[in-house]
Amino acid sequence: MIHRFKLGVGVVLAAPARAFAHSPIEGMNDFYNGVLHPALVPSQLMLLIALGLYLGQRDVAQNQAPIASFLVAAALGLMVTGFTPVVDLQLPVLATTIVVGALVAADWQWGRFGRMALGLLAGLLLGLDSAQASLTGLTRLVALFGCYIGMTLLLIFPMALADRFNQQEWQRIGVRVAGSWLVAAGVMVVAFSFASR
Amino acid sequence: MNLLYRLALGSLFLTVAGVAFAHEGAGLAGGFASGFMHPILGWDHVAAMVAVGLWGAFLGRPAIFVLPIVFPMVMAVGGALGVAGVPIPAVETGIAASAVVLGAMVAIAARPSIWVAAVIVGAFAVFHGHAHGTELPQSANALSYSLGFVIATGLLHLLGIGFGLLVRWPMGKVAVQASGGIIALAGVGFLSGAL
């Protein structure tokens, strides 16, 4: 009986490895594909992390307007993708990441309207950059809704993290260092994009 | 029976591991892994990065966070030059020299102003970035590669800072300075080609 159990454990351990051999997206429905979309596009993920860290460097109470502007702009951007041709926005997304990452690294907070403008810009770019061109009708709508949820979550998580890591000086330094990493990676890829043209 | 059974189970696990390895190294994950390993597998990079962290910890605030912030940002400029194919003379010499100079700064407990320290560290960061940028594999995803080497660089700084915090204690200060001396000596080895 024990031998059978051990063999069963072995088979169970083997099974996930075979599942990983295929894309994790395969077999997922359109909603979850949409949710994962911003997490699986590195440039989008970087911008969301940068903006989340930036907003989290100040009290959450001061961020209601920037978050609202991000959410409105992202929804608008996603809706617009249904009516416009697909455009590659990786460079503008990375350029915005560099700006926001530099603000995080410098711990330089703009005024309320400046932060709202950043939220608007980031939301619009990410929305427009998330076109689900291969889908149509209801499936597209579901995937776009998933994207919206994914973007929202990926903004909120780093924001909450930065807000939590706002107590001690070393924690604030850690957030600033993360900002500098985002800037560095962004600059490299922008350079690579221009060089490979 | 027991032995046979264990062998069978062991073979099964080994087979599973084989399947996992068969899919390593491609796409986003491959680019990240390649970038992440690039600074770690080069001893000259490791020595200089750790020295930056040690020196930052040695100098205290604000250098402890200014240097690890300045380094990756300036390094990215060097990386951009490397990617763009803009040549910088004596890159490998510059990287080896960074280990010598930064290690020596820690060894002699140099305490220049934060601006001087940032300029020294930033100047050497250009060489490290250029090397990373030039060696960016064409097959790798540029973004995940960049993220990988930036994060690895940052973690090496963190390693140096962690060890450098020992300067709070007299014996720790000796250990940190000795580490700086070893890094400087290693740098001489890189420069001369002995290492």
Average of per-residue pLDDT across B158-170: 87
The chain B residue lying nearest A105, using CA atoms, is B69
Q: Which residue of A has its CA nearest to B161?
A: A170
Q: Give CA–CA dist A56/A161, Å, rounded.
A: 7
Tell me the residues of chain A between 121 and 180 that have a Cβ less than 8 Å away from chain B. 173, 176-177, 179-180
CB pair distance less than 8 Å for A185 and B150: yes
Q: What whole-number distance in Å separates Cα of residue B116 and Cα of residue B119?
A: 5
What gap in Å lies between CA A88 and CA B119, rounded to an integer?
37
Q: Are A123 and A80 in contact (CB under 8 A)?
A: no
pLDDT value for B25: 45
Residue B23: band (very low, low, confident or very high) from pLDDT cuts 50, 70, 90: very low
Query: Percentage of residues in chain B with pLDDT exceeding 70?
Result: 83
Residue B172 and residue B54: Cα distance in Å, rounded? 12
User: Distance between CA A41 and CA A61 in Å, rounded?
Assistant: 30
Indicate the helix (H) or strand (E) that contains B44: helix B43-59
CA dist B50 and B128 (Å) reads 13
> What percent of chain A is predicted at pLDDT more than 90?
36
pLDDT digits (tens, 9 = 90+) for A171-191: 888 888 899 989 988 888 888
Are the Cβ atoms of A185 and B22 closer than 8 angstroms? no
Nearest CB neighbour to B73, from listed A11, A173, A184? A184
Tell whether the model's pLDDT for residue A126 goes beyond 90.
yes
Instruction: Give pLDDT tens digits for B172-185.
Output: 889 988 999 999 99
From chain A residues 23-52, the ones with a CB under 8 A of any chain B CB are: 40, 42-43, 46
Tell me the mean pLDDT in the region B45-60: 88
* Predicted-complex ipTM score: 0.70
Closest chain A residue to B151, measured at CA: A181
Q: Which residue from B109, B126, B137 is spatially nearest to B38, judged by alpha carbons? A: B137
What is the nearest CA distance from B112 to chain A, expressed in angstroms?
21
Q: What is the mean pLDDT of the segment spanning B66-84?
A: 87
Residues A181, B72: C-beta atoms closer than 8 Å: yes
Q: How confident is the model at residue B168 (pLDDT cuts 50, 70, 90)?
A: confident
Give B90-149 pLDDT, tens digit per residue.
888 999 999 999 999 999 988 888 899 999 999 999 998 898 888 776 666 777 888 888
Q: How is residue A100 written in tokens? A: 């926001």
Query: Could B147 and A177 be called an inter-chain contact, meaning their C-beta atoms sit closer than 8 Å?
Result: no
- In sequence order, the 6+-apart residues with CB closer than 8 A to the CB of B113 are none
Å from A44 to nearest chain B CA?
11
Helix, strand or coil, per DSSP, at residue A129: coil
Residues of A in Cβ contact (< 8 Å) with B80: 187-188, 190-191
The set of residues, in sequence order, having a beta carbon less than 8 Å from that of B100 and lying 6+ positions away, is B184, B187, B188, B191
Closest CA of chain B from A151, distance in Å: 19
Residue at A136: amino acid letter: T
| Nearest residue of B to residue A43, measured between CA atoms | B143
Amino acid at A97: T
